[in-house]
Structure 1
Amino acid sequence: MPAASIIEELEDAISRGTSGRRVETLRRVTDLFLRDAERFTESQIELFDDVIVRLSSVMEKAVRRELAERLAPVMSAPKTIIRSLAQDDEIDVARPILLLSSQLDDATLAEIARTKSQEHMLAIAGRKSVGETVTDVLVERGDSRVAMSVAANEGARFSDRGYDALVERTKGDDLLAECVGLRKDIPPYLFRVILSTAKENVRKRLVATTSAREKLQLSGALGGVADRIAIGVSDGARDYTAIQRTIVVQHSRGALGESELKAFAEAGKFDETVCSLSVLCGVPLEMVERLFVGDRPDPILILARAAGLSWPTLGAILRTRPGSAGTSTAGMEEARESYAKLTTNTALRVLRFWQVRESSAAAAAG
């Protein structure tokens, strides 16, 4: 007998059956579907979907949970019942679907994450793969367990905004800091943010790992960008007094902006470039100079993003650095890609950290 005829016959029996009979019928319909799930046509699956939805809507929690556990791993499971079970307020019912079902798209998962419980989000965080639109919600709304779970999930992918928010949450949370720091896809500049704010024991464990060590070698910042600033490598031989005064006056007249900065850089005027960046970013001149003479361009990228500079301007600035380290074709392309990924929020946070550290060091020295 065709599947549609069987379902029609069973549905007729349901309308006159007892509660126990309805449960048994639900199991039989589910058995029938699972037996040949991969062979049914789309229209046949829709018939199963309709019957199962109406049957399960009046069932107790234990029966719905059983149904969820049976349908969750099935690639061709009826979509309406899958969404219904995933949105069930009872987490024991929703959990198998949220963890395993491939029938849930990112839009549905994000909506569930926005509206359901922390336990629902925890289940979503444990999926084999989690898209960026979903992790955005999990990081923003989830509790510490959710944040830890999604950070530890190698199949989770984060947008720039999501990664920024996740790294922000690592402050004061040693376990999360270590978990996020160990992710293979964490951008190097965010890895350095974690190193700069993590406790010493966490920092040591991160640096001790192979993946972390590779990130540091790639960025040329074994102690972190903040540590390089604290050490300082400027020889102090330059006297910026006259140029700094001129630049400050120029800025006060509204005559100093990105175009003027770019012109200084393209003309190879190192002193004017450094002083202009200092004024535009509100960063002490001595700090900007120390950033310029490092082995890698990363700190300049952070200054430029904080100031809202375009890549052409930044490219010109990088070429004014002593020895033009890192300005080979490959080096500039790497810098351009890193700059494209660097968000303004992250740059401003790192900049604030540098400024606080600089002030603390000055106070201690005084």
Structure 2
Amino acid sequence: MANDSIDGEQLLALARLRSDEGRAELFAVMGDLFHDRNDILSAQERALMLDILEKLIGEVARDVKRKLALRLADAPGLPRELATLLANDDIDVATPILLRSAVLQDIDLIEVIRHRSRQHILTVAMRRDLSSAVSDALVETGDRDVIRTLLENQDANISRTTLAYLVEQSKAVDEFQEPLVRRRDLPPALARRMVYWVAAALRQALLTRFDIDPATLDDRLEPVVKQEVHEAVAEAEADSAADVLARALGADRQLTPRLLLQTLRKGEVQLFEAMFAEMSGLRLRLINRIAYEPGGQGLAVAVRGMGLNREEFATIFLLTRRARTGHASFAPADLGRALEFFDRLSLAAADTVLTRWRRDPDYLFAIRSIEEGQEKKSA
């Protein structure tokens, strides 16, 4: 398929082949089309390809499906229907889609949690940018390994109510304690509560195992507990020097796109993130995600909404790739696709999404709403 038009008859001819080689070639061709040439596919061509894949996916060797999943996991043009098919396949096929595909919606992930294997559920728990709704579904499984994996995932959004529930559960479930206290979003009040009842549990264990006067033990434990509470609360509430400086610059109206880019060029990544958060009005935790996501769509929305231009976006995109890996590790086509998205994105649409993020950082939902709106306009 060297020309720009998709030869439907050729696809159908490949689909009629019964050999493993023919099916493998068919899936490879369509995987390339969805990954590299999605922007030139018409709705009819996409529907034809998806229909063929849905009908044949159960007949194709697992290795072929695994290669297809690996190929399409990061593809923004992956149809949601195909993503859900692959996400519900055997775990070695489903893993890259569950971990990385941005086209899966919360309801798709929740369905996997409710109906697929424990390995599928553990994989979802490791996914970046989990919403609080998906996190709640993971906690509802009651599986300790799943919950611990979720708690160890610092990119997962977990509601305060769920964190409070898990703090209470950790009284009886020791393996929840360490990942809970390591979470950056653990509220100070919950951190303080954990220190007190862990100390109480330790006190009871010591009194049970050893012949110790309770008053003497309390005299020894009390100052230690107070110090631990102080440190836990201080750590939860502390602002970094970068946060303080960014807020001061913002208050003095000295934060500019030029200063933002200069900071990033110098490799002062933490200060760049704090300044980016201050300029955009977004939470630092959300900035930490959208600045380094592979596709750059979230970054494009934030930069466009802040009023920066195309060249400034391209510079930030390139420098954040380098900041994430230590070197410029991306395909040239990645920048092209990111710039294309930026060019299609109107200032009004970006501003709408930024307003939403400032209230509710459900960034994947907002990205999808933009893309769906653009598809409707172009249809």
- TM-score with structure 2 length normalisation? 0.50
Deviation at 1:77, TM superposition (A): 0.7
Match of 1:123 in 2: 123
Counterpart residue identity of residue 45, structure 1: R
Percent of counterpart pairs with the same letter? 30
Deviation at 1:101, TM superposition (A): 0.4
Match of 1:9 in 2: 10
Gap change, CA 1:209 and 1:179, over 3 Å in 2: farther
Counterpart residue identity of residue 65, structure 1: R
**Unaligned runs of at least 5 residues, structure 2:** 204-223, 240-379
Gap change, CA 1:148 and 1:64, over 3 Å in 2: same
Match of 2:234 in 1: 213
Deviation at 1:12, TM superposition (A): 2.8
Structure 2 distance, partners of 1:142, 1:62, is 33
Structure 1 distance, partners of 2:151, 2:39, is 34
Counterpart residue identity of residue 11, structure 2: L
Give the structure with higher Rg (CA).
1
Structure 2 distance, partners of 1:143, 1:160, is 20
Using the TM superposition, name which of 150-159 and 170-179 deviates more: 170-179
User: Would you say the 8 A contact 2:95–2:123 is kept in 1?
Assistant: yes
Gap change, CA 1:195 and 1:20, over 3 Å in 2: same
Deviation at 1:3, TM superposition (A): 6.1
Deviation at 1:34, TM superposition (A): 2.3
User: Would you say the 8 A contact 1:207–1:213 is kept in 2?
Assistant: no
How far does the alpha carbon of each residue in 1:27-68 deviate from its partner, in whole angstroms, 9 at most, with x for none? Answer: 122223323234434544333322222232211222221211
Match of 1:74 in 2: 75
For residue 198 of structure 1, give the secondary structure of its aligned residue in structure 2: helix
How far does the alpha carbon of each residue in 1:233-252 deviate from its partner, in whole angstroms, 9 at most, with x for none? Answer: xxxxxxxxxxxxxxxxxxxx
Match of 2:49 in 1: 48
Gap change, CA 1:39 and 1:4, over 3 Å in 2: closer
Question: Are residue 187 (structure 1) and residue 187 (structure 2) matched?
Answer: yes
**Unaligned runs of at least 5 residues, structure 1:** 219-366
Counterpart residue identity of residue 12, structure 2: E
Deviation at 1:124, TM superposition (A): 0.8
1:217-228 matched pairs, under 5 angstroms: none
Structure 1 distance, partners of 2:45, 2:229, is 57
Structure 2 distance, partners of 1:209, 1:34, is 52
Gap change, CA 1:217 and 1:53, over 3 Å in 2: closer
Deviation at 1:8, TM superposition (A): 3.1
Deviation at 1:174, TM superposition (A): 3.6
Structure 1 distance, partners of 2:178, 2:5, is 55
Gap change, CA 1:168 and 1:79, over 3 Å in 2: same
Deviation at 1:18, TM superposition (A): 2.3
Number of corresponding residues: 215
Match of 1:136 in 2: 136
Match of 2:64 in 1: 63
Deviation at 1:129, TM superposition (A): 0.6
Structure 2 distance, partners of 1:41, 1:100, is 25
- TM-score with structure 1 length normalisation? 0.52
Match of 1:19 in 2: 20
Gap change, CA 1:217 and 1:79, over 3 Å in 2: closer
User: Would you say the 8 A contact 1:181–1:212 is kept in 2?
Assistant: no
Gap change, CA 1:6 and 1:142, over 3 Å in 2: farther
User: Would you say the 8 A contact 1:128–1:155 is kept in 2?
Assistant: yes
Gap change, CA 1:112 and 1:49, over 3 Å in 2: same
How far does the alpha carbon of each residue in 1:175-226 deviate from its partner, in whole angstroms, 9 at most, with x for none? Answer: 421211221212222222322232569x98x9499665334799xxxxxxxx
User: Would you say the 8 A contact 1:121–1:142 is kept in 2?
Assistant: no
User: Would you say the 8 A contact 1:106–1:131 is kept in 2?
Assistant: yes
Deviation at 1:5, TM superposition (A): 4.2
Match of 1:91 in 2: 91
Match of 2:274 in 1: none
1:147-226 matched pairs, under 5 angstroms: 147-198=147-198, 207=228, 212-215=233-236
Counterpart residue identity of residue 28, structure 1: V
Gap change, CA 1:212 and 1:61, over 3 Å in 2: farther
Deviation at 1:19, TM superposition (A): 3.1
Gap change, CA 1:170 and 1:4, over 3 Å in 2: farther
